[in-house]
Structure 1
């Protein structure tokens, strides 16, 4: 199978940037979302990102123009009827993802690979609603997808070797660095390690050992991390952290897997990070 057309489901920060990465690499891409407003915001955000890259000399005006020419924005899931490779990047809720995969199975060609960008919901929880479990896998990009080089490809027990290999080759073709996990585990490699760091950072803050600013400073200056854990949660979305922990708690039933009280309170107040203008930090 030759991959010619890519579809990305969900036009939030991750989905829109994944779509642009694929378009810049030469693929025809459909970015699909049920919300016209979300698609408009995605266009505006991508335009700003591309303008900054042109100014910094990382891309030419011609490259950006060609990238946007290959990128289609659509609210119709039926527009995906010619997609060869689909990447779902919707909200981290299992019931929503299962409904999406069921629809994708109905509208996409039978040869199409159906991948989820989730790092917490493994593809075996989605594959059974499709008639092609062998073509379902995780392909996990990191935020911001336009910048971050690594992509985790995860082969579930249902995923064929061919699908895993094609997914790895696809990641290479969009100029990213793939890592193949031969077994499923929630969180994969990076986020399992990062999750332990996040938990400890929140514990230290909740118990008054240090401010979030100082904890971030320690991580960037002593551990040489490019960004501190609280600034990172603001970047990726505090609600994402909340949904991930709730999903883990629903699976395990362990109280320790629940979101921290601090995180829950911020979500309830709508303090979601950069996208809401306030999280642990305030943004203009």
Structure 2
């Protein structure tokens, strides 16, 4: 996600630094972005000049202190572990310029969980991109109690400059908007299948042909990754304690078996076969 967010910024004219503690991770990110650019040129979706200019605006660094030293805006996209995120925001609060806004791309943790560590809670919020970030238009901007109006306005404006369609969530709620809507559909789909009301295939077909969804709920869960679906449910349940937010036993069982969806070759569907 981080590298795709960075490329979105570079394509929009911003000098951007991709930071990671892993040199291998940075090399992979650079190679992947170069490959993506080449494909876009081949599809006539990006000119050679625009691609070259975007790549020239990108740089890569392992040292967070140096990467953030002159930053006006930082978007954290680290793994979904609170201790890691708090450590990053504590560091950013020290090394980033006083005016810099610090955003987290977290899909499960409200920025209030890291804002205090930064020492600048008024300039912290969620800026949640969707995967793949270079394609998906929605960005959820989530403010917490101390986020200033100026910060919200700047983040919304930046998201628009990146070619996105930002939505403002006025107060924190686990799952924000998209994951809550998606979760409600998925829970009902799982309940229908579990009760033997209809097959997984027929439920997906109904979602596509009756509701106009681009893919059915089981197809979508397989695409996102069942481990990700299970993780989000566990994270939300840990925050709310609400039974409807609890992880689904069928999803958890598939994850335990290593059946994670498309990325593992099998989930609700077997991708070695046509379905």
Q: TM-score, normalised by structure 2?
A: 0.88
Q: Is the partner of 1:247 in helix, strand or coil?
A: helix
Question: Based on CA coordinates, which of the two structures has the bigger radius of gyration?
Answer: 2
Name stretches of at least 5 consecutive residues in structure 2 with no aligned partner: none
Distance across 1 between alignment mates of 2:96 and 2:271 = 40
**Map of 1:23-42 to 2, 5 A cutoff?**
23-42=10-29
CA contact (8 A) 1:22 1:29 kept: yes
Secondary structure of the residue that 2:167 maps to in structure 1? Answer: strand
Counterpart Cα distance in 1 of 2:62 and 2:219: 32
Which of 231, 238, 241 does residue 250 from structure 1 map onto? Answer: 238
Q: Write the distance in 1 (CA, Å) between the matches of 2:61 and 2:136.
A: 26
Asked whether 1:139 is paired with 2:127, we answer: yes
Give the alignment of 1:100-111 within 5 angstroms.
Answer: 100-111=88-99
Runs of 4+ with >6 A deviation: none
Q: State the partner residue of 1:80.
A: 68
Q: Which residue of 1 aligns with 2:45?
A: 58
Task: Give the distance between the partners of 2:267 and 2:91, measured in 1 at CA.
Answer: 34
Q: Give the paired residue count.
A: 271
TM-score normalised by structure 1 residue count: 0.86
Aligned counterpart for 1:198 among listed residues 177, 181, 186: 186
> Which structure would you say has the larger RCO, counting Cα contacts within 8 Å and 6 or more residues apart?
1
**Residues 96 and 87 from structure 1, CA distance in 2 versus in 1: closer, same or farther, beyond 3 angstroms?**
same
Structure 1 unaligned regions, length at least 5: 1-13
Aligned counterparts of 2:267 and 2:2: Cα–Cα separation in 1: 22
CA distance in 2, matches of 1:271, 1:44: 29
Between 121-130 and 214-223, report the one with greater CA deviation. Answer: 214-223
Alpha-carbon distance in 2 for matches of 1:208, 1:44? 46
SS, match of residue 126 in structure 1: helix
Comparing 233-242 with 169-178, greater Cα deviation is found at: 233-242
When residues 214 and 73 of structure 1 are mapped into structure 2, their CA distance, relative to the original with a 3 A threshold, is farther
- Asked if the contact 2:226–2:251 (Cα under 8 Å) also holds between the matched residues in 1, the reply is yes
* 2:212 pairs with 1:224: yes
36-45 vs 110-119, greater mean Cα deviation: 36-45
Query: Deviations along 1:137-175, whole A, 9 cap, x unmatched?
Result: 011112221112221212211101111111111112112
> Aligned-pair RMSD on alpha carbons?
2.2
In the alignment, structure 1 residue 123 sits paired with structure 2 residue 111? yes
Q: 1:68/1:277 Cα in 2 relative to 1: closer, same or farther (>3 Å)?
A: farther
Cα shift readout 1:179-211 (whole Å, capped 9, x = no counterpart): 222222222222221110121222233444444
